[in-house]
Homo-oligomer: A and B are copies of this chain.
Amino acid sequence: MPIHSYHHGDLRRTLLEAAASSIEINGVDALSLRQLARDAGVSHAAPSRHFRDKQALLDALAEDGFNRLAASLEEATQGAPTTSTEARRRFDDLARSYVGFALAQPTLLSLMFSLKHAPSARVELLAAGHASMALTMRVVVAAQEIGAIGPGDPQRIALVAFATFHGVAILASGGLLDEVPAADLVATASELFWNGLQS
């Protein structure tokens, strides 16, 4: 591709990547479509060919985030556990992976769960979020199947687990832990939760 071609080539991806890094550095409020266009070397109205408006770009960013989160969680929970120890470890890994993702891109996580997404985009966002929920549920079910934890509605258990991970991640990325290392809190959370699932 020539250095100066009328068409950019892959503006959509360029914009998304620039936006993703921008929000982590300057916050989501400081994001400017015109600035993104300048950085990409295109005119100020070019982004509108790929995103109807600013909100649409944020929606796409959030959806991307959910997909990446799901990929990250999936990687941490592959294979079926055969022992209680293994099941417990999978649970730990899931928690660590979630909090790791959050600490690596806190603003994106915040955006993913923000309430400002357009109703039209919400459908896709919920679907993308469900993938992560389903992974959590899979870990719970696998643990139940080998008797590593007691019975109980796996959906509710998974929801509470997911919520706990999310809460710890938010507190950690918000700097509200006062001295307590995030990793320690993740361990405590995982232990308490696993403990509560026995019986």
* Contact across chains for A189 and B174 when beta carbons are under 8 A apart: no
- Copies of chain A in the complex: 2
**CB-defined contacts of A194 to chain B, threshold 8 Å:** 196
**CB-defined contacts of A175 to chain B, threshold 8 Å:** 122, 126
**CB-defined contacts of A133 to chain B, threshold 8 Å:** 176
CB under 8 Å from chain B, chain A span 1-58 = 27-29
Number of interface residues of A (CB under 8 A): 50
Cα distance, A159 to B194, chains bound together (Å): 17
* Contact across chains for A170 and B173 when beta carbons are under 8 A apart: no
Contacts A189-B163, A192-B196; A184 near B170 (Cβ below 8 A): no
* Contact across chains for B185 and A159 when beta carbons are under 8 A apart: yes
